Amino acid sequence: MGKTERVTEVASIVNEAREVLRDGFLRADAGITGGNFLIAETGSVALVTNEGNGDLTNTLPRVHIVTAGIEKVVPTLDDLSVLLRLLARSATGQEASVYTTLSTGPRRADDLDGPEAFHVVLIDNGRSQWLGNEFRDMLRCIRCGACLNHCPVWNSIGGHAYGWVYPGPMGSVLTPLMIGLEEGKHLPNACTMNGRCQSVCPMSIPLPNLLRKHRFRLHGQALDGRGARLALKLWGALAVRPRWYRWLTRIGTSLLGILGGKRGRFRYLPLARGWTDSRDLPAPHGQSFVAAWQRQNNKRVRPSERCA
């Protein structure tokens, strides 16, 4: 397509995209889609989208190829109806997604449209191993994204910061399983263990627990690095001496609070360079969590009720 006049109105941009892309869909030899669910009872593939490009891909080209993980197979259409409701409500809060398409083979003689050939490629990529191990629960994931949307870490740093295809809590469990723990070792540690992801997951996947299992493995295989192991040992020694722990954290947080100055943020911190190289680090407010909790609790208890 030659150079066209620059358009800025949303409707014009959409029309231009439609004009350019539609021709590509019509001329394509093959369209490749994923599949949200595969239904064993009928041999169908369910594709759920809110935009409709998926339907252009599976209807217009001569060949439709579906690639989907083996965990996407559900037994019956009744099972599908339950999962479709869960998916839409957990993902975007809709009662149903805008487009839900079931493809069951190539175009029949009296069909008006559809591909001449239809292929489904089932992907294992390690999934059958998880079936028999402690990460089995992860195979229930329907990729609704609720855990991402409610994760405070994901909300602060965004999806691209994770560096892999699947971001957020579910990605931090899945990615190390797919690419190996050594390569994905930072992901299970990018979590505060607040448990919000598990409480919103429609499939009741124990995400914090699975992340913890990755951490155990990391530590067991000594993949967490010398510095981290030393820090953990130090923390372990302090954690069993609560007085020391409180005293040191009080000093540390006060000091960092003062060093953070009026801005309340660090542009550079020697021990946190991985963070401060590309963003500011918020300084503590000058009080440890335990001290703040104690202060708040003391306020709530009337002086006459306080222990001596």
* Sole binder of ligand SF4 in the list 45, 66, 74, 142 (CB under 6 A): 142
Any contact of residue 146 with ligand SF4 (CB under 6 A)?
yes
Percent helix / strand / coil, the chain, rounded to 5: 50, 10, 40
Closer residue to ligand SF4 (CB): 80 or 283: 80
Residues 55-114 that bind ligand SF4 (CB under 6 A): 90
Any contact of residue 159 with ligand SF4 (CB under 6 A)?
no
* Sole binder of ligand SF4 in the list 107, 143, 212, 246 (CB under 6 A): 143
Other C-beta atoms lying within 10 Å of the C-beta of residue 49? 17
Distance CA 77, CA 89 (A): 19
Closer residue to ligand SF4 (CB): 39 or 201: 201
Distance CA 122, CA 104 (A): 15
**Binding string, residues 165-184; x marks residues near ligand SF4 by CB under 6 A:** -----x--------------
Q: Give me the helix-helix angle, 289-300 and 242-259, nearest 10°.
A: 100
Any contact of residue 147 with ligand SF4 (CB under 6 A)?
yes
Provide the b/e sequence for 60-99 (b: ≥16 CB within 10 Å).
bbeebbbebbebbebeeeeebeebbeebbbbbeeeeebee
* Smallest separation (angstroms) from ligand SF4 to the CB of 278: 26
* Smallest separation (angstroms) from ligand SF4 to the CB of 76: 20
* Sole binder of ligand SF4 in the list 39, 68, 84, 205 (CB under 6 A): 205
* Smallest separation (angstroms) from ligand SF4 to the CB of 207: 6
Any contact of residue 144 with ligand SF4 (CB under 6 A)?
yes
Other C-beta atoms lying within 10 Å of the C-beta of residue 205? 21
Residues 221-280 that bind ligand SF4 (CB under 6 A): none
Residue 230 exposed, middle or buried by CB count within 10 Å (0-12, 13-18, 19+): exposed
Q: Is 166 helix (H, G, I), strand (E, B) or coil?
A: coil
Q: Which of 281, 255, 250 is nearest to 268 (CA)?
A: 281
Largest CA distance in the chain: 88
Closer residue to ligand SF4 (CB): 46 or 283: 46
Closer residue to ligand SF4 (CB): 81 or 199: 199
Any contact of residue 190 with ligand SF4 (CB under 6 A)?
no
Binding site for ligand SF4 (CB under 6 A): 90, 141-147, 170, 201-203, 205, 207
